[in-house]
Amino acid sequence: MSAALDSLIADGRRLHQAGDLAAAASCYRRALDVDGQSFVALHLLGVLSYQSGQLEEAERLIRAALARQPTAAGAHNNLGLVLDARGRTLEAIDAYRQAIGLRSDYAEAYSNLGIAYKILGRLDAAVAAYEEAVRLRPDFADALANLSTALRLLGRLDEAAAAAQRALDLAPDSPEAPTAASWTPPPKCSPARLRASARFPKLSSISAAYSGAAAGEPKPKP
């Protein structure tokens, strides 16, 4: 990358991480004026568009980034989140599987895959995906919380309570922290209710997407 492009992307990333999305977007767009094919600028502007609720633009930008670097696992993961947000869960599953195929240790992609399966009501597949996420990252509180929810919906209450307690021990101050003792099995769970209970989708982090761009494979969020 040129010095000008490097500087614009670095400024954009700093502003993005600080929550100044408008200023960050301006930097990324100026970076694309310098190099309209920059994987990093396309990907990060796509991430920002997703965070801003501009889902059609997010999909366009992330797909453009992937056209430049098809082996970028983090971009496939983020594309999955966009597709899921657009109600295209089966396509999202394909994107998460592509991410996992490129990085077999991608805990966040496994967790997102579990969320997608749970949305479809495929609870056994969701549990398997969450369990793999937790195997890869034993301190992954969000995946443990979602695992607990899926186990509860399957009626596996002792396992659900154990997973909930582990999540609570790891993140006791989280407003989303589960309370295992208070959970009872629902008599029936509709797809809408499953979607509402599918929490904690994991976006490939801004810094990881930036630092890993040269290799085309962003690292998972710490």
* Cα angle for residues 208, 213, 215 (degrees, 5° grid): 110
Please check the confidence at residue 11 and state whether its pLDDT lies above 70.
Answer: yes
pTM of the full structure: 0.82
Please check the confidence at residue 174 and state whether its pLDDT lies above 90.
Answer: no
Take residue 96 and report the two structure tokens written for it. 């998460």
Identify each DSSP E strand in the chain by its residue range: none
| Cα 53 from Cα 36, distance rounded (Å) | 23
Which residues contact residue 109 at a Cβ distance below 8 angstroms, ignoring those fewer than 6 apart? 73, 76, 77, 80, 96, 99, 100, 103, 202
Residues in the chain: 222
Q: What is the pLDDT of residues 162-172, one digit of tens each?
A: 999 999 999 88
The helices-and-strands tally (H runs, E runs) of the chain is 12, 0
The whole-number pLDDT of residue 211 equals 39
The whole-number pLDDT of residue 38 equals 95
Q: What is the pLDDT of residues 57-99, one digit of tens each?
A: 999 999 999 999 999 999 999 999 999 999 999 999 999 999 9
- Domains of the chain (ranges, CATH numbers): 3-211 (1.25.40.10)
The whole-number pLDDT of residue 29 equals 97
Name the residue among 205, 107, 23 with its Cα closest to residue 213.
205
Spell 67-80 as b/e; 16+ CB within 10 A means b: ebbeebbbbbbbbb
The whole-number pLDDT of residue 217 equals 39
The whole-number pLDDT of residue 202 equals 58
Name the residue among 184, 140, 192 with its Cα closest to residue 166.
140
CB 2 within 8 A of CB 35: yes
Q: What is the pLDDT of residues 182-218, one digit of tens each?
A: 444 443 344 443 333 444 455 554 444 443 433 333 3
